[in-house]
Structure formats: structure tokens, C-alpha cells
């Protein structure tokens, strides 16, 4: 069973701090990695996608991918209370067209 694992949290950070969210995956055939944000009672919305090893930055968000370690992370700089949500890691395994979501990490940004 291919797995995507995340710490369920909650992860509490003060406003203005850097929040670091982590995700590990078991399938070495995985090629595409996504971070979704889900507010309580709402549907997931895409934050970042990453396909190659290294860092990808978009505004206050940075995704990091290390395929050798099977590890993907999301950094949120200058965290705001509006960033408080559950962050879902999703992994697409191309060969068998499998899509797997992690259980999500709940982030709380304290004003």
C-alpha cells in the first residue's frame, strides 16, 4: 500500500514566524507533488506543485522536494492568522496513475 504520511498536528506558530510542514511518501515512482490548503468546512485548494528536486518559491510559500529521501516540505514565511488551516500533501504516482493524499497537518497561527 503506497502511503503519504504527515504529522496531524496541530502545529502552532506565532504570527510572523516560519511554519514548516513535512510530508514523506513511500512510492519511489512518484513524480508529482502538491500542497493543498483546506479551511475548516471548505474544499482543498492548491497552494504549490513541485516536480523536481530542490526548492520552489511562490510568494510566502516555498516547497522543497528531496526524492532521494522521499520527502517534501512546505515552508510558510511571515505566517498570518489567515494561514490557519489544514495542509494536505498529495502525491501522484505516474506509472499506475495513482493519487494519494496524506491525512493533513493542522496549522494554527497565533496572533
Partner 1 sequence: EAGVAQSPRYKIIEKRQSVAFWCNPISGHATLYWYQQILGQGPKLLIQFQNNGVVDDSQLPKDRFSAERLKGVDSTLKIQPAKLEDSAVYLCASSFFFGTSGPSLQETQYFGPGTRLLVL
Interface positions with partner 1 (CB under 8 A): 4, 6, 8, 31-32, 34, 42-46, 49, 51, 88, 90, 92, 94-104
Nearest-approach distance from CB 52 to partner 1, in angstroms: 8
Q: Which is nearer to partner 1, 6 or 24 (CB)?
A: 6
Residue 109: burial class (beta carbons within 10 Å; 0-12, 13-18, 19+)? buried
Q: Which is nearer to partner 1, 12 or 77 (CB)?
A: 12
Nearest-approach distance from CB 19 to partner 1, in angstroms: 18
DSSP three-state, residue 83: helix
Phi, psi of 65 (to 5 degrees): -125, 130
Nearest-approach distance from CB 74 to partner 1, in angstroms: 15
Task: Give the residue among 8, 31, 11 at the shortest CA–CA distance from 75.
Answer: 11
Amino acid at each position: 500500500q503506497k502511503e503519504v504520511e504527515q504529522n496531524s498536528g496541530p502545529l502552532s506558530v506565532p504570527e510572523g514566524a516560519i511554519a514548516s510542514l513535512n510530508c514523506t511518501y513511500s512510492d519511489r515512482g512518484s513524480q508529482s507533488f502538491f500542497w493543498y490548503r483546506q479551511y475548516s468546512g471548505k474544499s482543498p485548494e492548491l497552494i504549490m506543485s513541485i516536480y523536481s528536486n530542490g526548492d520552489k518559491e511562490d510568494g510566502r510559500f516555498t516547497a522543497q522536494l528531496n526524492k532521494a529521501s522521499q520527502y517534501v516540505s512546505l515552508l510558510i514565511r511571515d505566517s498570518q492568522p489567515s494561514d490557519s488551516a489544514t495542509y494536505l500533501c498529495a502525491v501522484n504516482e505516474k506509472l499506475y496513475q495513482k493519487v494519494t493524499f496524506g491525512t493533513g497537518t493542522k496549522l494554527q497561527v497565533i496572533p
